[in-house]
């Protein structure tokens, strides 16, 4: 699932009606979820956080910026926070399924759209910056709104998008791309803030001032204070006392958790605390966290224990939460704390039904879910069985030589399982989109033309989903074959069922591909998909037969 976070800051924090009008533009955009609205009266500024698919996030951001330009007059704005425009800053943040490069492209797309459509000059910052001196937001914002007219006279400050022309009402907007910021606190068994701050100085990237043997700060030849760099890059930290909990905490901001993840900092904090005679009692997440950060932690701690990493996502998250002590001072609820879980990709998701509910829905007179979703389900069950057999081989006597391999197979099985579970909903949604396309109006010439294009696009999507299911089911077949050859022989029958269900999934998906192709006008698309689908079906049958031979031989021994 491709998800992007967007955190626009609007120069209005007092008029709740105006703020509501702006956020309504975001809420009304399909495939977007509004997560937080944080107005500040003294700053006269509101920080808004929302997530969604890449295309939808750009659309929602533009609509909100447009509404802010209509409602906010910067010539009358006063507030304690630095600002340049009605929409002061608007960063894109990769959450899942997207890269930083993708977010940079989104920043360019929105910047061009805002400048062209709203006549607001746009500067790009952070990872989207086109010049090194524009990477830092504070540098761009220097002089603020009041200094914009003069700034545009300087050739060095030509906007990245739009004219170097002062817009008195809307000012200027800074758009960019940055990594996700994780706010995280580590708890100590002390009330002494100085202990916590001392550890923070050792952890954070900027470190501490260098001191001589007399504890005096060391300066260079220009009189500038020297620093000793801390242990972790992209980490900011301070120590403080928290009255509500009656403990000292190390308050940490991770500006790039992929470089310095929370679990490594947590373990290093334990060492630092023990050196001071202290104990780390747990930790606390402030706000939201990307799922990947916790999955990394879960895998890290399981690997230290020599366990298989090929377990369900929910178990990995539980391992992370327990290992980091995330329930120490406040409740940790993954459904509320993980950012991806705040976005519902599918309404009335099929995979959230229990087995009876799914079977009942499948047996009704509704055409969806149907064979496509069932094929995906078969493939997911196959991958689950392969992961099970692999995990039943981990740590077993007689299988010492294949431990690394079966652990890897278990992880692969979990990944294929999750992809195919998602495809259950994708297939039904794709079918519903085709039906919706056929229901479009066709009274006018323009409506007829739009309807034809929409039906073609929807039918292609309804073909590509089962085609991708075929690819995943062939991967599941390859996995089942490896498991049958190397896995626990006491579970050989389970490996056999994994082969049967994967082949059923592949052939079932093949039927769904082929039934859609006659309804597509794009001959090149039809030919390409048909050729590839036939080849995948051949591979599926071949692998299925090979697995049967392995199973039959093993059962007769």
**DSSP structure class, residue 52:** E
Q: Which two tokens stand for residue 494?
A: 């389970």
In angstroms, the CA 288 to CA 340 distance is: 9
Specify whether the CB–CB gap between 498 and 416 falls below 8 A.
Answer: no
Q: Where are the beta strands (DSSP E) in 142-272?
A: 173-177, 182-188, 208-209, 227-228, 235-242, 247-254
Q: Where are the beta strands (DSSP E) in 7-56?
A: 9-10, 32-40, 45-52
Specify whether the CB–CB gap between 323 and 261 falls below 8 A.
Answer: no
In angstroms, the CA 25 to CA 64 distance is: 6
In angstroms, the CA 417 to CA 391 distance is: 15
Q: Tell me the three state secondary structure of residue 95.
A: strand
Q: Find the largest Cα–Cα distance for the chain.
A: 88
Our CA angle for 20, 22, 26, nearest 5°, is 105
In angstroms, the CA 120 to CA 11 distance is: 15
- Of 258, 199, 259, the C-alpha closest to 230 is 199
**DSSP structure class, residue 325:** T
Instruction: Find the helix or strand (DSSP H, E) in which 2 lies.
Output: none
Side-chain-side CA neighbours of 160 within 13 Å: the count stands at: 25
**DSSP structure class, residue 218:** P
Specify whether the CB–CB gap between 285 and 253 falls below 8 A.
Answer: no
In angstroms, the CA 374 to CA 420 distance is: 10
By annotation, the residues acting in catalysis are 81, 427
Which residues touch 515 (CB under 8 Å, ≥6 apart)? none
Q: Where are the beta strands (DSSP E) in 45-168?
A: 45-52, 87-96, 122-126
Q: Is the dihedral of CA 69, 70, 72, 75 positive or negative?
A: positive
Side-chain-side CA neighbours of 13 within 13 Å: the count stands at: 20
Specify whether the CB–CB gap between 86 and 169 falls below 8 A.
Answer: yes
Specify whether the CB–CB gap between 368 and 512 falls below 8 A.
Answer: no
């Amino acid at each position: 699932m491709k998800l992007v976070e967007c955190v626009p800051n609007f120069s209005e924090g007092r008029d709740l009606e105006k703020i509501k009008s702006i956020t309504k533009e975001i809420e009304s955009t399909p495939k977007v979820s509004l997560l937080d609205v944080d107005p500040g009266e003294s700053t006269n500024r509101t920080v808004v956080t929302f997530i969604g698919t890449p295309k939808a996030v750009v659309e929602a951001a533009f609509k909100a910026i447009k509404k802010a330009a209509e409602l906010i007059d910067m010539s009358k704005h006063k507030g304690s926070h630095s600002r340049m425009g009605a929409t002061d800053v608007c960063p894109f943040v990769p959450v899942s399924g997207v890269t930083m490069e993708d977010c940079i492209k989104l920043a360019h797309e929105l910047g061009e759209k805002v400048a062209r459509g709203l006549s607001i000059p746009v500067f790009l910052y952070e990872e989207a910056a086109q010049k090194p001196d524009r990477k830092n937001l504070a540098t761009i914002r220097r002089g603020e709104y009041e200094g914009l007219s003069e700034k545009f006279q300087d050739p060095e400050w030509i906007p990245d998008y739009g004219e170097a022309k002062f817009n008195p009402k809307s000012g200027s907007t800074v758009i960019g791309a940055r990594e996700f910021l994780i706010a995280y606190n580590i708890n100590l068994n002390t009330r002494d803030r100085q202990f916590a701050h001392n550890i923070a100085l050792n952890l954070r990237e900027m470190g501490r001032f260098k001191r001589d043997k007399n504890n005096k700060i060391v300066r260079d030849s220009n009189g500038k204070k020297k620093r000793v760099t801390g242990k972790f890059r992209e980490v900011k930290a301070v120590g403080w006392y928290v009255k509500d909990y009656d403990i000292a905490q190390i308050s940490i901001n991770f500006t790039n958790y992929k470089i310095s993840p929370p679990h490594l900092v947590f373990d290093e904090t334990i060492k630092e605390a023990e050196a001071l005679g202290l104990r780390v009692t747990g930790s606390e997440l402030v706000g939201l966290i990307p799922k990947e950060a916790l999955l990394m932690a879960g895998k890290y701690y399981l690997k230290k224990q020599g366990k298989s990493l090929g377990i369900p996502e929910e178990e990995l998250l539980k391992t992370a939460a327990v290992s980091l002590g995330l329930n120490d001072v406040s409740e940790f609820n993954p459904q509320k704390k993980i950012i991806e879980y705040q976005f519902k990709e599918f309404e009335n998701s099929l995979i959230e039904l229990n087995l009876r509910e799914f079977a009942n829905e499948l047996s009704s007179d509704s055409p969806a879910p149907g064979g496509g979703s069932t094929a995906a389900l078969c493939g997911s069950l196959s991958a689950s069985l392969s992961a099970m057999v692999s995990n039943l081989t981990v740590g077993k006597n007689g299988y010492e030589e294949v431990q690394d391999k079966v652990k890897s197979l278990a992880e692969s099985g979990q990944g294929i399982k999750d992809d195919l579970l998602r495809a259950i909903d994708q297939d039904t949604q794709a079918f519903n989109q085709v039906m919706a396309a056929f229901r479009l109006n066709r009274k006018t010439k323009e409506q007829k033309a739009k309807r034809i294009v929409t039906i073609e696009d929807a039918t292609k999507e309804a073909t590509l989903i089962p085609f991708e299911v075929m690819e995943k089911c062939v991967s599941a077949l390859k996995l089942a074959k490896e498991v049958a050859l190397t896995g626990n022989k006491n579970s050989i029958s389970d490996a056999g069922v994994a082969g049967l269900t994967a082949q059923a999934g592949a052939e079932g998906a093949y039927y769904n591909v082929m039934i859609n192709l006659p309804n597509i006008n794009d001959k090149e698309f039809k030919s390409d998909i048909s050729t590839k689908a036939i080849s995948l079906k051949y591979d599926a049958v071949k692998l299925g037969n090979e697995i049967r031979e392995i199973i039959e031989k093993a059962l007769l021994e």
